[in-house]
Amino acid sequence: MSASGAADTYYRAMEGAWHGRLTTTIDALALAATQLGALDRLAWKATAHAPAWLETRVQVLPGRVVLHGTRLRSFGLPVAWGTERIVLGDDGRSFSMHGEHRLAWVPWRRQIVEGPGEVREDVAGASYAFDYLGARVTQITEREADGVLRVTQTTAFSKSEVLLVRQAPKRSG
């Protein structure tokens, strides 16, 4: 384990580009029972009904900071994108996430993404909690093999899963 702790070790192992197919299921009755606005409901429904591919990139910076960029594509077109700045805590396991996301059909509307998280002591995964599109999201990551990461996001009305696979570095020449 690195001198900075489990969080530093975890994010250094995750550094690079990843991609995978995102699947989302929605409980229509539970979604209808929420106080979400019309645009947020539409966005959640669209995620469940259109094929989606998630592309993500992790970069570890000096000073216990991690940059995380995400792009969601459907039918080859970007439908959502964002960047988070993750600051690793002094205890070696906790972190805070602060970022901004946008949706293609309302690019002027920023989605602020903020919340705490913690890397497991065994460095095999992490848990996050944040608000997105009007809903509280719990995200759990689990390393399944070298170069494979399962990400599960749940809300009161949805469950999303993606099996991210590390992209091979591009060769020059």
| Interval 76-133: pLDDT, tens | 999 999 999 999 999 999 999 999 999 998 889 999 999 999 999 999 999 999 999 9
Please tell me the predicted confidence (pLDDT) of residue 171: 59
**Does the pLDDT value for residue 2 go beyond 60?**
no
CA 95 and chain centroid, separation: 14
Rg value, the chain, Cα? 16
8 or 168, greater pLDDT: 8
pLDDT tens by residue, 44-83: 988 888 889 999 999 999 999 999 999 999 999 999 999 9
Please check the confidence at residue 1 and state whether its pLDDT lies above 50: no
Q: Per the structure block, which two tokens stand in for 125? A: 């995964």
Number of other CB atoms surrounding residue 115 within 10 Å: 19
pTM: 0.90
Domains of the chain (ranges, CATH numbers): 6-166 (2.40.128.20)
Cα distances (angstroms) measured from residue 76 to each of 9, 19, 151: 33, 13, 21
3-state secondary structure of 76: coil
- Contact, 55 vs 73, CB < 8 A? yes
